[in-house]
Amino acid sequence: QKEVEQNSGPLSVPEGAIASLNCTYSDRGSQSFFWYRQYSGKSPELIMFIYSNGDKEDGRFTAQLNKASQYVSLLIRDSQPSDSATYLCAVNTGNEKLTFGTGTRLTIIP
Amino acid sequence: EPEVTQTPSHQVTQMGQEVILRCVPISNHLYFYWYRQILGQKVEFLVSFYNNEISEKSEIFDDQFSVERPDGSNFTLKIRSTKLEDSAMYFCASSIQRTENTEAFFGQGTRLTVV
């Protein structure tokens, strides 16, 4: 069974601080990794994807991938109350299939 | 900005009835997917569709489920005889290439309630 694990939270971070979200995956052959944001009752919204080891930055968001450790993370700098949501880690574990983690609920405290 | 659109946003149906969920993927995308999310649980893959045929499906996607691209724009999910446990949010997604190589964009979802 190919698993994607996330700490369910809730993770509380003061406004303006850095939020750090983590994800581990079991399938060593996984090639691509995605972070989605999901507000309650809404659909997943893509934030970032990463394929190569290292860091990838997009605005306030940085994705980090370490394939040797089977670990992917998302950093959110200068956290805003609007960042409060559930963050889903998704891993491509087949030709087209994404396997999702349970998500980490993030709350930004004003 | 192009987006995946789904209809209806909410569907209530009686157990045993057939339902069809509809999706219009992003126009230049070639790969189409259905996922579902039972309330409080993780998003689960159901099926992927490319070149007018199923390319991958999960254990959830049994004989009660089918997908179709009846014309050049719509992509549908049919559940033949709904069960209570089919109650969930169903998300359609599309991508321009396989998700090994690119991202998938999700529609706003259809909330299916089976009573």
Strands B105-106 and B88-95, by their bridges, are antiparallel
DSSP code of residue B83: -
Which A residues, 29 through 68, put their C-beta within 8 Å of a C-beta on chain B?
A: 31-32, 34, 36, 42-46, 49
Which B residues, 10 through 69, put their C-beta within 8 Å of a C-beta on chain A?
A: 31, 33, 35, 41-45, 48, 50, 55-56, 58
Q: How does the average pLDDT of chain B come out, rounded?
A: 94
> pLDDT confidence of A2, banded at 50, 70, 90?
confident
Mean pLDDT (whole number) for B94-111 = 88
CA distance A95 to B33: 12
Counting one residue from chain A and one from chain B, the pairs whose CB atoms sit within 8 A come to 66
**What is the percentage of chain B residues whose pLDDT exceeds 90?**
86
- Contact at 8 Å (CB) between B80 and B17? no
Q: How far is A9 from chain B (nearest CA, A)?
A: 13
pLDDT of residue B66 exceeding 90, the answer is yes
A5 by Cβ neighbours in 10 Å (0-12 / 13-18 / 19+) ranks as middle
Length of chain B: 115
Q: What is the pLDDT of residues A8-55, one digit of tens each?
A: 889 999 999 999 999 999 999 888 999 999 999 999 999 999 999 999
Looking up tokens 């950093």 gives A75
CA distance A67 to A80: 30
**What pLDDT does residue A53 have?**
93
Mean pLDDT (whole number) for B6-25 = 97
**What pLDDT does residue A8 have?**
84
**What pLDDT does residue B102 have?**
78
| A9 closest CA partner among A100, A41, A19 | A19
Backbone angles phi, psi at B35, to 5 degrees: -125, 160
CA distance B54 to B56: 6
- Which chain B residues are within 8 Å of A88, Cβ to Cβ? 42-43
Whether residues A100 and B107 touch (CB distance < 8 A) is answered with no
